[in-house]
Structure 1
Amino acid sequence: MNSNVLFIYDENETGYRFNESHPFNQKRLVLTVDLLRSIGALPDSYLRAPQLATEELLLLNHTPSYIEAVKALSETTPAEEWLKQAGKYGLDTEDTPFFPCMHQVTSLVVGGSVLATEAVMSGDKEHALHLGGGLHHALANKGAGFCVYNDAAIAIEYAKRNYGARVLYIDTDVHHGDGVQWSFYTDPDVCTFSIHETGKYLFPGTGAVSERGDGTGFGTVVNVPVEPYTEDDSWLECFEEVLTKVAAQFRPDLIVSQHGCDAHAFDPLAHVHCSMEVYRAMPRLIHRLAHEHCGGRWVALGGGGYDIWRVVPRAWSLLWLEMSEHPLIQELAAAQELPLPASWLQQWQPHSPVELPAAWLDPTATWTPMPRRQEITLKNRQTKEAAMVYL
């Protein structure tokens, strides 16, 4: 394994929980860490705990009034005046309801992503992973899409201000990375690339190819909205061709990537039909681009993913195995049916409401092919070409 990588984790981040029935469940962090430990891929020497972000850091992307609202609504019993204003700040919706200690735990998430960025930009580490982060929907003065503070945007702004870095942001969540895009829409030193299910059918409804940035930032926003029921080959074709050109043209100093794994066929909140092969191949390309264009500087964050039993632990573990150059990642390239560790399966199957997968990768040969596969592939190719018009 490469020892020059960092894994940022604190079990207190599982406190980011809106309510017991909410789909955003950070128990997936515990499941992932336990899976990695069960194969010996996460020695204690690789781990570092995040610190709470200061208000100065939060102000890199959020307004003072919004931070004040988040703090006030984090009280066990918020004052009536703040309850009346919760809607103004997007914190009274079914998706993003306020909850006790919200400010504290979300500040810990921001602190983890800034720590990852500092470790990489200072030269202390080559790559850093913070799976608790990736809350990409939050806006400057509004929570949205399960996100309160936008740790990804704050980390990018931190790298810009403290190191003068040009940052390429790569978002592979099935939902458009809108909060980060809008934060840097006119900024020529931040390029945002998002591949996601088309907003015609899915939250947040944005991310069209025509969104390209504005002013001096025109051309530094690239969106690839794929069709519902897109499968591995078409998703990877769009991802690899467009991103390779984006990186070569933009020439970043740092890559910050968001790794929502909700484009998987099992995810309950979207309609893309990818397998675990995407989550093996996608970080491999990002890893290569980081070394080709920015001296290996790569910060990776978590994101969406709502099948916390069958999908998230495997997808996020594959990301870490790639970042740390663990031998298992090469074995997976040669053998498609490597089993998951029996100890992990035995520990968690009694708690899982679904049967856990037996292997790292999915048996896609047994899956029923999607209807309209050719039409979907053709439409995605047209979208891919439109995305590359200015590249």
Structure 2
Amino acid sequence: MKHDSVFVFSNEQLSYRFSDSHPFNHLRLQLTYDLLNELQAIKPGQILPPRMATEEEIALIHDEAFIEAVKSAGKGQLNEAVAANYGLGTDDTPIFPHMHEAASLLVGGTLTAVDAVMEGRANHALHLGGGLHHGFKGKASGFCIYNDSSIAIEYMKKKYGARVLYVDTDAHHGDGVQWAFYDDPDVCTLSIHETGRYLFPGTGQVHEKGSGNGYGFSINVPVDAFTEDESFLEVYKSAFREVTAFFKPDVIITQNGADAHHFDPLTHLCSTIQTFKEIPKLAHELAHNYCEGRWIAVGGGGYDIWRVVPRAWSYIWLTMTGQVDSLPPTIPENWIRKWASQAEEELPYLWEDQHIVPKIPRKQEITEKNHKTLEKALYHIRNEMKR
């Protein structure tokens, strides 16, 4: 039976957890899933359990030596100096027991979503446990061990012969995915993110356009700190539409970090929930216009896990399934009651933010900067890219 959309989820995915105090906390998966359940927005037949990715699948992107290092680290068998060479045991990416298995399950979740869409069992698939876009071929980075999106893209190329458009709206630049396909003309990466002048990983400048046969297929739109909804969304919509029209992908995969919100503790952008409501609408539209509906969405960053992430990520599923316009005005009371005692912040009552908290009064100046950045980023689409 074909579903319009499938939701890849298992409580076992919460095992990807560095420590109780680490900002990357996959409890947000459970929070989002529970919120959608309270809305009665997910049917049992739409839920797919993630599978474990094989080592051969992980090796589509990652070095075998790195995979072995991750396995050894998770067993407590990797010394500190060797671990550091692989980006393991750092403040960002600490070692935890069974980390290979936990990371492999997240990769397998994204591959589960890919197969559901590419085999025609669903038009759209959502896997919020994925989106770990900082992982490199031989090194963990920025909370990311294995780079599930890169693996999924290479998997789609090899298994399905797909031409893939990857769109990343995390506040942090999607560096690991960009560099994995920097010379590949069959993969186009579009990243809209806070400028690296202020934020990890410091890359994602307009001049990073790809190399060799892939020149022109890497597109970056760094926006200034303190950017608000209007400017962020204009940049996103303009870039996404123009890139999709040019590249004409077979499938779209979107990375949906929720850390551009003004509450996020690790970034400097000033979006409200309105941005996260609008982001999936355009992905849905363009997937149907260009890809016969083939759209895979993954999660990503988002470190205000109580007030922001569940609402932001719920909008992706509600958009995929055509339920976003029938939302009640308030968050279900049962969900608030269930999680209020654990929440570090007061849980939201309304779906929309009740007010905007501007961080600086220079909105017009920032908007003008972002327009200039967008024009530079799109210049090579109009004038330099080759088919």
TM-score of the two chains, using structure 2 as the length reference: 0.96
Shift of 1:347: 1.3
**Of 227, 232, 257, the match for 1:230:** 227
Q: Which stretch of the first structure deviates more once superposed, 341-350 or 372-381? A: 341-350
Q: What amino acid is the match of 1:177?
A: G
Whether 1:309 and 2:296 are equivalent positions in the alignment is no
Q: Which stretch of the first structure deviates more once superposed, 119-128 or 173-182? A: 119-128
Note if contact 1:73-1:83 (Cα within 8 Å) is conserved in structure 2: no
Listed as ranges, the matches of 1:18-29 within 5 Å are 18-29=18-29
Listed as ranges, the matches of 1:43-54 within 5 Å are 43-54=43-54
Per-residue displacement from partner, 1:243-302 (whole Å, max 9, x unpaired)? 100000000000011000000000000000000000110100010010011110000000
Tell me which residue corresponds to 2:343. 352
Per-residue displacement from partner, 1:105-131 (whole Å, max 9, x unpaired)? 100001010111111111111100100
Note if contact 2:262-2:357 (Cα within 8 Å) is conserved in structure 1: no
**Of 350, 371, 384, the match for 2:361:** 371
Instruction: Determine helix, strand or coil for the equivalent of 1:4.
Output: strand
Percent identity of the aligned residues? 52
Tell me which residue corresponds to 1:62. 62
Whether 1:121 and 2:118 are equivalent positions in the alignment is yes
TM-score of the two chains, using structure 1 as the length reference: 0.95
Q: What amino acid is the match of 1:314?
A: R
Tell me which residue corresponds to 2:371. 381
Listed as ranges, the matches of 1:244-283 within 5 Å are 244-283=241-280
Instruction: Determine helix, strand or coil for the equivalent of 2:254.
Output: strand
Note if contact 1:170-1:257 (Cα within 8 Å) is conserved in structure 2: yes
Listed as ranges, the matches of 1:151-190 within 5 Å are 151-190=148-187
Q: What amino acid is the match of 1:270?
A: T
Whether 1:134 and 2:131 are equivalent positions in the alignment is yes
Moved over 4 A (4+): none
Tell me which residue corresponds to 2:89. 92
Question: For 2:293 and 2:337, how far apart are their aligned partners in 1?
Answer: 37
Per-residue displacement from partner, 1:153-194 (whole Å, max 9, x unpaired)? 000001000111000000010000000000000000000000
Question: For 2:357 and 2:214, how far apart are their aligned partners in 1?
Answer: 43
Tell me which residue corresponds to 2:207. 210
Question: For 1:7 and 1:166, how far apart are their aligned partners in 2?
Answer: 23
Instruction: Determine helix, strand or coil for the equivalent of 1:126.
Output: strand
Question: For 2:117 and 2:173, how far apart are their aligned partners in 1?
Answer: 26
Question: For 1:145 and 1:16, how far apart are their aligned partners in 2?
Answer: 14
Tell me which residue corresponds to 1:219. 216
Per-residue displacement from partner, 1:127-164 (whole Å, max 9, x unpaired)? 00100000000000000000000000000001000111
Whether 1:330 and 2:325 are equivalent positions in the alignment is yes
Shift of 1:44: 1.1
Note if contact 2:170-2:257 (Cα within 8 Å) is conserved in structure 1: yes
Note if contact 1:208-1:224 (Cα within 8 Å) is conserved in structure 2: yes
Shift of 1:338: 1.2
Tell me which residue corresponds to 2:294. 297
Cα RMSD after superposing both structures: 1.2
Question: For 1:374 and 1:129, how far apart are their aligned partners in 2?
Answer: 35
Q: What amino acid is the match of 1:360?
A: W
Residue correspondences, number: 380
Whether 1:343 and 2:334 are equivalent positions in the alignment is yes
Question: Mind listing any 5+ residue stretches in structure 2 that lack a counterpart?
Answer: 382-387
**Of 361, 372, 382, the match for 2:352:** 361
Question: For 1:71 and 1:324, how far apart are their aligned partners in 2?
Answer: 38
Question: For 1:222 and 1:172, how far apart are their aligned partners in 2?
Answer: 12
Question: Mind listing any 5+ residue stretches in structure 1 that lack a counterpart?
Answer: none
Tell me which residue corresponds to 2:77. 78
